Amino acid sequence: MFKNMFKSGCLVRTAHIMLTWLTTLVLFLHNTDLRRCQERGDLVQPVVFISVVLLSVLLYFTVSLMDPGFVLSDSDSKGTSADSNEELEQMIPQDHSSLKQRRCGYCFLLQPMRAKHCKMCKRCVRRFDHHCPWIDNCVGERNHKWFLLYLCVQFVAVSWGLQASWSGVVFAPTWQQWFAQNGLVLGAFAVTAVFSVVVLLLLCIHLYLASVNSTTWEFMSRQRIVYLKHCDSEENPFDRGLICNLWHFCCVCGTVAWERIYVRHTSGTV
């Protein structure tokens, strides 16, 4: 675990922490709404804000350091037990060419459906979504829900910081004095504004992907994915409806045999 923490991703994580707490410090040092509440003795808003920031940092490290769903061996590509393996083999037609498992050209492991090899992590990841450089980790089957939760908390934190930094901007008779008095708080405003836009876009994208049971990789590269080539542009063989998709995404833990769902869909559409 500690070996993974102090690889190249250590620099990215250090930059994230420094930027987060420096921006937070600026918001409390200047005459912002948070500072004014603190001076009045009303500690509810400052404490809640710090709690949200701290939660976002904890979630950041959770998503960054946890296993996204690495395929460890050939047995990982065939379900979780011998019984499930036999059931799966019986359900999949032998002539179903699109379900033939292939070996990864990089790590030579059998790839389960929806898995992809990440060249950055040098591992195959189950239900691969994308490799996120900001967390220096893949987003996959095991940490996708935590990534979405992190985006939600992070958006609350940066949008609140955006409002707080704007409340600290003061007027001055000249442009030189205005920039001198507001330099740091304007920097905090710029940082929170950029992150607010980026996080909001990511949040909307991943909420949509979760609602239709798709991934960034499948959405962007469906013409190059074997099991999606024969599907129409609007067809998703893993889509089971909004409620079921969100329930599965948020509440179901563990490995999923996507081949079963795929076979049920393709058999029902024949």
Q: Which pair of structure tokens corresponds to residue 38?
A: 């603190």
Determine contact, residues 27/91, Cβ cutoff 8 Å: no
User: Does residue 116 contact residue 217 with C-beta atoms inside 8 Å?
Assistant: yes
User: Is-contact 141 125, C-beta < 8 A?
Assistant: yes
Residue 9 φ/ψ, nearest 5 degrees: -65, -15
Q: How many CB atoms lie within 10 A of CB 84?
A: 14
Could you give the CA distance from residue 42 to residue 46 in angstroms, rounded to a whole number? 8
Q: Note whether 217 and 141 are within 8 A (CB).
A: no
Residue 84: which residues within 8 A CB-CB, separation 6 or more? 257
3-state secondary structure (DSSP) of residue 130: strand
Task: Identify whether 132 is a catalytic site residue.
Answer: yes
Catalytic residue, candidates 118, 124, 132, 138: 132
Distances (CA, A) of 42 to 34, 39, 54, 185: 9, 7, 20, 22
| 169 touches 200 (CB < 8 A) | no
Active site residues: 132
